[in-house]
Amino acid sequence: MKDKNAILGRAKQTIEMEAQAVLNLSSLITDDFAEAVKLIYNAKGRVIITGIGKSAIIGNKIVATLNSTGTPAIFMHAADAIHGDLGLIQNDDVVICLSKSGNTPEIKVVVPLIKRVHNKLIAITGNKDSFLGQHADYILNAYVEKEACPNNLAPTTSTTAQLVIGDALAMCLLDLRGFSSNDFAKYHPGGALGKKLYLRVKDISSANQKPKVELGTSIKDVIVEITEKMLGVTAVVENDKIIGIITDGDLRRMLTKADDFSKLTAKDIMSENPKRIESKLMAIDAIELMETHEISQLLVEEDGKYAGVVHLHDLIKEGII
């Protein structure tokens, strides 16, 4: 059993080897890469990605990245292609084939079939002189000197290189398409990531109660309002415009400063010009404002009028913190 230092040493060596291999890829980028990007961008069809073994797994991830950034893509396993899946490829599709060696039997079978129907073929391979490299229209060189595997057998560094090439393709296509955060939100409506991109302050504050008092409201009624609305805060308003804010903290400070608060009103203890946010802004903007000012709630305005409260707990509940 290896000791801790040996384990940590192997981990660091693996990371450093793969990092160096990725850095080396930039020197292998040629005009073929730019031409491949333009080919995919101008294609009327989809991107069909194929491969076998570990390359197939990487291919599936590249498909997912392309789809999520505006480039329609489908995975076709090279072994299944000759048993009916070749029908996935339509006339206007562009095919990307992943293979470290470029010489596996399945690749040698499927490549001529792709070329027979005149689809353009892009190779992501570590061997540009291979069968795949010789028959591809464009070669994206994913050469690595050595696998991180000590036996130089298990695909490790090579699959990392393929993945990075795929990411580079996707990001170049994203730039060409002018793919924005709003576009990203359309493809990622679920989960915390999606919510950060589409959830607005109004979507959250509208679900809350709307605590408010007037300048002359008694302290007793202020306490009742804060307690009943359960947000730890109330707005002080005049003609529906925000004048101030009273928080639980303001009430505690009042108790330490006054022996008799029976005659005090909201005006006496409120904080003027409270931090506020427009209802149409994104929830992520509310988070940034809270963090900047180290507060846990914001009053919400809509068209210059008081519209409610957004609380830090609401944002946590939505999973975007």
- pLDDT of 197: 61
Q: Provide the residue ranges of all domains of the chain, joining segments of one domain with +.
A: 4-179, 201-317
pLDDT in tens, 76-134: 999 888 787 888 899 999 999 999 999 999 999 999 999 888 899 999 999 999 999 99
DSSP state, 68? H
Tokens linked to 88? 């996935």
pTM: 0.67
Q: What is the CATH number of domain 4-179?
A: 3.40.50.10490
The strand order across the sheet containing 212-213 reads 212-213, 233-238, 241-247, 271-272
- CATH 3.40.50.2000 describes domain 201-317: no
Show Cβ contacts of residue 307 under 8 Å, excluding neighbours closer than 6 positions. 202, 205, 210, 279, 300, 301
**Cβ-based burial of 73 (10 A; exposed 0-12, middle 13-18, buried ≥19):** buried
Cβ atoms of 82 and 52 within 8 Å: the answer is no
CA 204/CA 132 separation, integer angstroms? 54
Mean pLDDT by 10 residues, the chain (321 residues): 84 94 96 97 96 95 93 93 85 96 94 90 96 97 93 91 97 90 63 64 88 92 92 92 91 81 86 91 87 90 92 80 62
| Phi, psi values for residue 265, rounded to 5° | -125, 175
Give the number of other CB atoms < 10 A from CB of residue 193. 13
243-253 residues labelled b (16+ CB within 10 A) or e (exposed)? bbbbbeebbee
